[in-house]
Structure 1
């Protein structure tokens, strides 16, 4: 039976870590260990983990204080994990019950280095999820990743441990896009990361979360572009248009600058209309929403888009 080591970076996650761990315990594939890597929590996170671990010896709490989530993931995967397959999950996300079962089937092919599934985005409880990621039919490419990352989050990445170690792990210099930077390196080094067309992860959204800081996102994107360039890859017009479509949707959720979503949408359409509307429904809905925000009363726009 395929054995998994689940790596969970944790920092002040007392409100969510219990639900995350219950998601592991509900898995139909039971051969796993969960390594919770605490980064110096000052709340009750560690107490909650230890209480659950006393009843389930598959769960282990370790410490890697004050070094950030990327260092926590690297430490758990490279220094603590005992199993061949490494699955990452953040301390506020929740897995579907059959995630590890479908991953075990995927990794039965020895040529598969990594895998990811579909994401559902929720606010308060997984049952309120109404937006889902798209898993591409084609194999991951650097240009695809430079448009809109279909993996979406570290909680959706599962890798063979030796392949992950060979990449050098996540960059500890990046706060945003560390998963994207790692994926670009992994794909650039020839790793085969397979998209699975099953729902795997419920991703907890927050309009004030890290991914809402658009200025920091742009700075980290420049670092990702440098990583891509080291493999001789530059973003195509299509991928740049898709990236601007993505930024337009992120700006909609922030509800601060009412014209910012429209500026991103127009930028994407100027770069490549075909790229912006490569997903016709997503492109049309993004443009319609961006056009509506400046004329809608703020409370209505906030309810609709955040």
Structure 2
């Protein structure tokens, strides 16, 4: 039986999926299976998976019986996975070669239900950017989820399979923020999720891969806040300001209205100046970029801020 089951939802990912799968084949820890759940792709995604499946039997092509990434992840993780530990990976992200080995070590050394690490952000080649996520020194709390998500991406999350099964997996109602909802429910159920101060994932920053529906993201976050209240945790002005800063930074990378990022910035500062400008370098950079973006051509703006 594999130690890890890696669930990869795939939709029209032919251009990036091979790089993702190559990063799995490069893992020093080899006891894994990869479940590539195709979500109705109409490009060459299935062909890419079949090519890798023929090369390595650990890689399997599955077809989503439903629709959407949450349903695809649930199908792979709940119906098909054979591993003790579930890892999620998006079809355009890349893992460092020691990711599974590092995660396995922490699961064996510590009584945890979930593990995450640092994320590096890249545009073309892993390492071409200098931005890295940070890791909380203590186990995650629900309050940590209500501002900027420390896990950053589902490609950075590994869970014991029984823990995931116990909460019923992802809620397919969520089109956005399904990762936040999952983490809030996991933490509300008592799961211990710890971070590793190691770079484990490269996250591809592409304007074309981002959701432009920031209003829908705000709406789904309100549903997450309601979920958190079910566990007795209230969001506050600082958390709201930090989340609006996150949306402003996201807006800068989109082909959206020049005023959108500035509007989100001003709203964030209005909720809580200290929340928006903590840490100072992130808040100040976001505010400055929101102003500079007003005079930049759209193509230069999306390229510069991606």
My pick for the range that moved more, 250-259 or 169-178, is 250-259
CA distance in 1 between partners of 2:301 and 2:47 (Å): 40
Report the CA distance between 1:163 and its aligned residue: 0.5
SS of aligned partner of 1:191: coil
2:109 and 2:79 mapped to 1: Cα distance? 26
Q: Deviations over 1:76-111 (max 9, x none)?
A: 111111111110101111111010011011100352
Instruction: Tell me which residue corresponds to 1:288.
Output: 288
Deviation at 1:301, TM superposition (A): 3.2
Mapped contact 2:212–2:256 kept (Cα < 8 A): no
Is residue 272 of structure 1 aligned with residue 275 of structure 2?
A: no
- In structure 2, relative to structure 1, the CA distance for the partners of 1:113 and 1:2 (3 Å cut) is farther
Which residue of structure 2 aligns with residue 222 of structure 1? 222
Map of 1:26 onto structure 2: 26
- CA change 1:98–1:302 in 2 (3 A) is same
1:195 Cα offset (Å): 0.9
List per-residue Cα deviations over 1:208-232 (Å, max 9, x = no partner).
3343321221121122122112112
Contact 1:40 1:65 in 2 (8 A): no
2: distance between equivalents of 1:108 and 1:86? 15
Contact 1:2/1:104 (<8 A) preserved: no
Partner Cα separation in structure 2 for residue 285 and residue 264 of structure 1: 14
Q: Does 1:46 align with 2:46?
A: yes
Q: How does 1:127-146 map to 2 (within 5 A)?
A: 127-146=127-146
SS in 2 for 1:112: coil
Query: Do the aligned partners of 1:169 and 1:182 also contact (CA within 8 Å) in 2?
Result: yes
Distance 1:51 1:255, change over 3 A: closer
Q: Secondary structure at the match of 1:102?
A: helix
Matches within 5 A, 1:68-147: 68-109=68-109, 111-147=111-147
TM-score scaled by length of structure 1: 0.94
Between 1:28-37 and 1:129-138, the stretch displaced more is: 129-138
- Please give the per-residue CA displacement for 1:116-165, whole angstroms capped at 9, x wherever unaligned: 11111222221323322122223212222110111111111100000111
Q: Partners of 1:10 and 1:255 in 2: how far apart?
A: 24
Which residue is equivalent to 2:232? 232
Offset of 1:66 from its aligned partner? 4.2
Secondary structure, aligned partner of 1:208: helix
Aligned residue pairs total 306
* 1:224 match: secondary structure: helix
Q: Closer, same or farther in 2 for the Cα pair 1:20/1:301, shift >3 Å? A: closer
Q: CA offsets, 1:141-199, max 9 Å, x none? A: 22221101111111111000001111110111111111111011111111111111111
Aligned equivalents of 2:152, 2:82: Cα separation in 1: 26
Q: Which runs of 5+ in 1 are unaligned?
A: none
Equivalents in 2 of 1:80, 1:303: separation in Å?
40
Partner of 1:180: 180
CA distance in 1, matches of 2:257, 2:7: 37
Q: Which residue of 1 aligns with 2:256?
A: 256
Which runs of 5 or more residues in structure 2 are unaligned? none
Shift in Å at residue 248 of structure 1? Answer: 1.3
SS in 1 for 2:127: helix
